[in-house]
Amino acid sequence: MKIAVLNGPNLNRLGKREPEIYGSKTLDDIAAELRSAIPEAEFEFYQSNHEGDLVDKFSELAESDCQGVIFNPAAYSHTSVALRDAISASGLTVIEVHISNIHSREQFRHHSFTAEVSKGVITGLGTDGYLLAARALL
Ligand code: DQA
């Protein structure tokens, strides 16, 4: 199974960014964990701080043999109709992941446009959320 793991803005700084909220693991650590825990899947990792690049990535994946997407849209979850539409238009099965529990934080984080068109959402289970999402896709 081919799974794309997409991460949105500021997640390039995971491990250094607000570790009391997001923990100390980096995106590279998460990639290594996924590859070692689930060797039967082929993972592609992509991170961008730019909304349009993430929209373009969904278009590209829609035309590929990718079978599922793990997506942490980060702050764009709460603002981006463009990414919501990109997910819908792609026809791909998407599991949204948030490292922190967005419902126990500021009010503006409680709504996610992208969650509305995702198959499921994992929020608040730390970086294990990526692993759980991959297992759900499998
Ligand atoms: C996040 C939660 C978002 O509200 C925030 O903007 C992020 C990270 C998370 O993984 O907990 O950048 O998606």
What band does 86 get if pLDDT is binned at 50, 70 and 90? very high
Mark out the alpha helices in 68-125 (DSSP H runs): 81-90
Residue 102 CA to ligand 1 centre (angstroms) = 7
Predicted model pTM? 0.98
Give the chain's domain count.
1
CA of 72, closest atom in ligand 1: 13
Mean pLDDT of the chain: 98
Name which of 47, 127, 61 is nearest 93 in CA terms: 61
Q: Of 123, 45, 44, 47, whose CA–CA distance to 78 is shortest?
A: 123
Alpha carbons 66 and 62: distance in angstroms, whole number: 7
For range 133-137, the mean pLDDT: 97
The CATH number of residue 60's host domain is 3.40.50.9100
Q: What is the pLDDT of residues 117-130, one digit of tens each?
A: 999 999 999 999 99
Distance (Å, rounded) from C-alpha 33 to C-alpha 74? Answer: 20
Q: Measured between alpha carbons, how far is 1 from 64 in angstroms, rounded to an integer?
A: 12
Contact 24, 15 (CB under 8 A): yes
Provide the pLDDT confidence category of residue 79 given band limits of 50, 70 and 90.
Answer: very high
Which of 78, 98, 110, 111 is an active site residue?
Answer: 98
Percentage of the chain surpassing pLDDT 70?
A: 100
Give residue 52's domain range.
Answer: 2-137
Q: Decide if 50 is catalytic.
A: no
Residue 66 is predicted with a pLDDT of 97
Contact 97, 122 (CB under 8 A): yes
pLDDT tens string 20-56 = 999 999 999 999 999 999 999 999 999 999 999 999 9
Q: For residue 73, what pLDDT is reported?
A: 98
